[in-house]
Amino acid sequence: MVTNFQGVARRLTEQLRALGIDDEQVLKVIEQTPRHAFMPESLAHKAYENTALPIGNGQTISQPYMVAVMTSVLTKAGARSVLEIGTGSGYQTAVLAALVDQVYSVERISHLQYQAKRRFKQLDLHNVRTRLGDGWQGWASKAPFDGIIVTAAAARIPEALLHQLSPQHGVMVIPVGEERQRLLVIERDGDDFSYRELEDVRFVPLIEGDTE
């Protein structure tokens, strides 16, 4: 069990800064977020390495670098209401919750959603709402969102998510592709959408359909 994580967390943020992360607000939150609390205790000793780690059910806790990159896209766009597709361990959710007004997070695996909700309660995160559901469908009743973050790779861009972006400069960051995955930033202005590619990535696939 990691009891005093600040020192190793600080070293992690120094690594991220060296890799080009320049959003000091995001770096500060990553340094203050107990990543070890979002993974099995058997892996806690690796919590502050810059790597993705398994959390069960074929899922992973994202690499801190990728959490920083994707979060920075939304914070630099000024997003205040964010939809997250793929709660997973809840780590990315917790980082977002410290930086935006409200996070709505959708998870399709009930066991992971249950564990994440317990962690949010333990960490006193009161601005997170979670739902068990198909991430491809988003959370229409809470739309529009200033920002959407998708933490699994979609074979194609989910149409429902595009329509749930705020028409006033809503921003989505999403990995897209199967053999080759690219991290895309999609910006909405009225009925127009612009797309830009950030980098090649590797995420678990975004499954479409029933929950489990």
List, for residues 47-92, the tens digit of each pLDDT value.
Answer: 999 999 999 888 899 999 999 999 999 999 999 999 999 999 999 9
How many Cα atoms sit within 13 Å of 174 on the Cβ side? 29
| 3-class DSSP state of 113 | helix
Distance CA 181, CA 179 (A): 6
Distance CA 151, CA 86 (A): 6
Give the domain CATH number at 103.
3.40.50.150
What confidence score (pLDDT) does residue 3 get?
56
DSSP state of 205: B
pLDDT tens sequence across 103-112: 999 999 999 9
Q: Which residue has the higher pLDDT, 19 or 56?
A: 19
Q: Is residue 121 part of a domain?
A: yes
Average pLDDT over residues 159-164: 97
pTM of the model: 0.94
Q: Is residue 18 part of a domain?
A: no
Average pLDDT over residues 157-175: 97
What confidence score (pLDDT) does residue 2 get?
53
Residue 82: enclosing H or E segment and its boundaries? strand 81-85
pLDDT tens sequence across 167-190: 999 999 999 999 899 999 999 999
Which of 85-89, 115-119, 137-141, 208-212 has the weakest average pLDDT? 208-212
Q: Is residue 116 part of a domain?
A: yes
Q: Is residue 140 part of a domain?
A: yes
Domain extent at residue 59: 51-201
What confidence score (pLDDT) does residue 208 get?
86
Q: Is residue 155 part of a domain?
A: yes
Q: Is the dihedral of CA 96, 23, 196, 70 positive or negative?
A: negative
pLDDT surpassing 80 at residue 211: no
Q: Is residue 152 part of a domain?
A: yes
Catalytic amino acids?
62
Q: Is residue 13 part of a domain?
A: no
Total number of domains in the chain? 1
Q: Is residue 102 part of a domain?
A: yes
What confidence score (pLDDT) does residue 56 get?
85
pLDDT surpassing 80 at residue 149: yes
Mean pLDDT across the chain: 94
